[in-house]
Structure 1
Amino acid sequence: MIATPARYWMLFPSKHPFKLSSTPPLRCNYSVLHEWRNGPINENRSWGPAGPQPSELRTPTSFGDDSTASFSSLADYAALILSTPDPLLKSRLSHLAFSRWSSYCLPVGVVCPPDHPARPARPILVPPKEIQTHKSSGLPLNAYLLHNLAHVELNAIDLAWDTVARFSPLHDLLGDEFFSDFARVADDESRHFAWCSQRLTELGFSYGDMPAHNFLWRECNKSSGDVAARLAVIPLVQEARGLDAGPRLVQKLIGFGDHKTSNIVAMIAEEEVAHVAVGVFWFTQLCQKMGRTPCDTFKDLLKGYSVELKGPFNYAARDKAGIPRDWYDGDSLIQDATKKRLSEVHDRLATIISMEQESSKLG
């Protein structure tokens, strides 16, 4: 048994296990989350002429010489996947892990995760400022954009499994559903990576053909000792940024003439809404147990971890995921209120003018 770091307890009013409320938080779009949680295991891991379809590649049943069937917990699988450098094997093992978790009632377990996930020799990781532009990369626009997305999805697999493994000592506090949610997120991200990898191959390229950055994992490390911060930094900031970027990326690909890739990106963006909803749900739950206001806590955490929120924001997708606008864009609320007041003034003036016109006719 791994001792729980003392700083974890700063999140909770006592060291005694608590039961998370079964009542959905007021702010969370629970219908999106409920539908996602209760969906079947998604076997559509390749992209065919009509869209997602089951893959012809079998999910591995073994890793090296040791059968993964001997793994006794979800956390064991998380540690294995984080230690797996091959991206496609990492993707397939993620699906295997979630499938076994869902089918065989494995315990969550407790592990000590690696400090960093294993990575392949390519792509070379460079600082974000050194990332090549499309023109200097030598890749066509669709392959360039798809490679960037594949890198995001690979990191997202590890981010989800790191959340499972790193906070496994808090299982008694968080409950099975927390870990089940993030295992399902990891499975989704592994499917997204598989789609991106397949499409890159069809275009004549592969993941690793251009340098990538390590920004996402750096952000993950900031929150390695605080589950509330992890929820704020990853689902509510990083994944929410994906909601903002998705439609723009789709339009660029349509403009380039690659409708198949644009359809893949659109599907990924649509599925990311539930991942953000997961973050909203659990962050709100934690704040309720801490007796704190979610909006203020979210802003305080971002300030404390030097995380910046940047627009433009996809309000429709963020609203669907259940992120209150005052968490990330208070100015929009002021603008909306101003527009509403101006509209009311306009309506009153129109009514007065109409009444005066009627009065002049009678006179």
Structure 2
Amino acid sequence: MQRLKVEVMVVSLSASRYSHGSALHFKSRRFSSSSCSCLKVSPWRGLNEWRESPLNENRKWGEHGPGPASEPHRDSPFGQASTLAEIGSIVLSTSDPHWKSQLSHMAYSMWRRHNLPLGISKPPSRPARPPIPQLVSPKEIPAPKDSGLPLNAYMLHNLAHVELNAIDLAWDTVVRFSPYSEILGEGFFADFAHVADDESRHFSWCAQRLAELGFKYGDMPAHNLLWRECEKSSDNVAARLAVIPLVQEARGLDAGPRLVKKLVGFGDNRTSKIVARIADEEVAHVAVGVYWFASVCEKLNCAPDSTFKGFEVWLISAYLLTYTELIQTY
């Protein structure tokens, strides 16, 4: 993990500014496959193992950790959709969070098992959301003592909200950039569909544990700032990679151990183990971001560090957003 953090820190903030006329926009840029003088980024050594791992059916948290869930057999809910991009768009258009989580796993499983083509689709302008939780500004999110939830449930609810948004962020990346598959390569979409599957499993664990504690997702307000950051990068894949995996998810790696320690201190070892496992699995997601950010920069014939610095305004906003989220759990 330490090596991964060093790789992420290679692309640090500076005083440069992002310009909306940047050639990073796919629609106005011609790409070259020739080599460039890019800074070479060494992939996390566990990345290939993660990519080649079998489908993970351990969607229930048992007495001794994750295990397979006994979910009833369902016919395919995807209708005539026959490509990864099309079924990803259906996941994004699903409002019920538990069904969205299940659909996400079903979508990734179908693609893996039936070798579906990537295809091209258009994502909804915003992912469908349930009536609750009420979405409010960060200042209106209640402190733990005012939330009506004990501290462990409060933390779990915040984490469940992050994981639900992460499902949509990953699928939006797959669907939104599907027209550029010849540029990005199928591996890009395979990785982010895999990320979406992981995030759906994480949401399932959080929702299950909330129910065990007598609560559910939606029992307290949440905010929609995560999606705001996603919208800012809707037409720029390099910005999407910089803001989401390299800042927001990377900050989550730092937060995980602190949340685990807090939960242990609260006396909830079961929840602490769930959070620890989620944090451990998020390492792969940051590694995916590092790998594909470097790859996109190579296609643009530019160095990852200077490209990253060019997004400073967005990155500071994303960093502060993530920090705000983290301090809400303390």
- TM-score (norm: length of structure 1): 0.78
1:140 pairs with one of 132, 150, 162: 150
SS across alignment from 2:310: helix
1:295 alignment partner in structure 2: 305
How many residues of Structure 1 are paired with residues of Structure 2 in the alignment? 301
Describe the shift of the 1:149–1:170 C-alpha distance in structure 2 as closer, same or farther (beyond 3 A): same
Describe the shift of the 1:41–1:308 C-alpha distance in structure 2 as closer, same or farther (beyond 3 A): closer
State the identity as a percent.
58
Structure 1: segments with no counterpart, 5+ residues: 1-5, 314-363
1:35 alignment partner in structure 2: 49
- Pick the structure with more helix per residue: 1
State the alpha-carbon separation in 2 of the partners of residues 95 and 156 from structure 1. Answer: 13
Describe the shift of the 1:230–1:252 C-alpha distance in structure 2 as closer, same or farther (beyond 3 A): same
State the alpha-carbon separation in 2 of the partners of residues 139 and 14 from structure 1. Answer: 50
State the alpha-carbon separation in 2 of the partners of residues 59 and 222 from structure 1. Answer: 39
Shift of 1:128: 1.1
State the alpha-carbon separation in 1 of the partners of residues 314 and 200 from structure 2. Answer: 31
Which amino acid is the alignment partner of residue 28 of structure 1?
A: S
1:70 alignment partner in structure 2: 80
1:47 pairs with one of 61, 67, 78: 61
Does the 8 Å CA contact 1:60/1:92 hold for their aligned counterparts?
no
Does the 8 Å CA contact 1:246/1:266 hold for their aligned counterparts?
yes
Which amino acid is the alignment partner of residue 185 of structure 1?
A: V
Does the 8 Å CA contact 1:28/1:280 hold for their aligned counterparts?
no
Does the 8 Å CA contact 1:60/1:93 hold for their aligned counterparts?
no
- Are residues 1:263 and 2:273 paired? yes
After the TM superposition, which of the residue ranges 198-207 and 299-308 deviates more from structure 2? 299-308
Shift of 1:249: 0.5
SS across alignment from 1:70: coil
Describe the shift of the 1:256–1:73 C-alpha distance in structure 2 as closer, same or farther (beyond 3 A): same
Shift of 1:35: 1.0
State the alpha-carbon separation in 1 of the partners of residues 164 and 319 from structure 2. Answer: 23
Does the 8 Å CA contact 1:44/1:52 hold for their aligned counterparts?
yes
Which amino acid is the alignment partner of residue 231 of structure 1?
A: L
Post-superposition CA distance 1:178-224 (Å, at most 9, x none)? 00000000000000000000000000000000000001001100100
Structure index of larger Rg: 1
SS across alignment from 1:52: strand
Does the 8 Å CA contact 1:75/1:165 hold for their aligned counterparts?
yes
2:204 alignment partner in structure 1: 194
Post-superposition CA distance 1:66-113 (Å, at most 9, x none)? xx2632100011110000001111011111111111111111111111
Does the 8 Å CA contact 1:220/1:230 hold for their aligned counterparts?
yes
1:238 pairs with one of 220, 239, 248: 248
1:95 alignment partner in structure 2: 105
Structure scoring higher RCO (CA < 8 A, sep ≥ 6) equals 2
SS across alignment from 2:149: coil
